[in-house]
Copies of this chain bind each other. A is one copy, B any other.
């Protein structure tokens, strides 16, 4: 047990830079220590490696420490459908609780480290620490709200709005953990963006190119800089109106 504290993977919740965003939010110091004791740090995943596979027995949820994870499921036709991208401090795997089996696969988009949190331990601990239990409920509740926003996006929005929403969403997530909100690196490919947003690769490429020529963003491969937040926001908020303004 204590051996891991002497390894190179010893980062603890207490001194983890993500603790203000991650599961430990709103926990007392002593409670964080107890949480910390059930968490295992895994050795880094290389790009393309699986964290877990659809159908695997569910036993843990994971917090991303660095890198990015994508989750996806394989449809009956064998094609992959991406259901989410997970950045540092974000928790994944919660959808496995229901059936005791992960309903999705999770794969690293780049070199990625995660904290593994065995769920039975977490559940036990949550009985003893009410604020942890509440925190878990909140996290799952937020996931439900977020997914519903995503449903709106997929069902109602056009390609421009989808891409703008996607970029601003990433921007917010980077900002929240102290990185630049305007300039960042897309760890996923255009194909993966398209898959996630329900668009063809070509459409993603075309829209991003058009955003660039309209001065909304500056793109260089996977590097992206958002130049005009205002206009991007408008694209999301008021599509029809915005379209007209943009066309004048």
Contact = CB atoms under 8 A, between A and B. Distances in A.
Contacts of A99: 142, 145
Contacts of A236: 76
Interface in A217-248: 236-240
A98 interface: yes
A214 interface: no
Interface string A126-141: 1100100110111111
Interface of A is mostly: helix
Nearest to A147: B147
Contact of A140 (B103, B130, B144, B239): B144
Interface stretch (A1-9, A29-37, A107-115, A150-158): A150-158
A137 B154 contact: no
A239 B154 contact: no
A97 B147 contact: no
A123 interface: yes
Contact of A138 (B98, B136, B137, B141): B98
B133 A97 contact: no
Contacts of A11: none
Contact of A198 (B81, B127, B143, B156): B156
A198 B153 CA distance: 10
A88 interface: no
Contacts of A10: none
Nearest to A104: B148
Given A76-B236, A154-B198, 10 more contacts: A83-B151, A95-B141, A95-B144, A96-B141, A97-B137, A98-B141, A127-B133, A140-B144, A144-B144, A144-B147
Interface of A: 73, 75-77, 81, 83-84, 94-99, 103-104, 123, 126-127, 130, 133-134, 136-145, 147-148, 150-152, 154-156, 196-198, 236-240
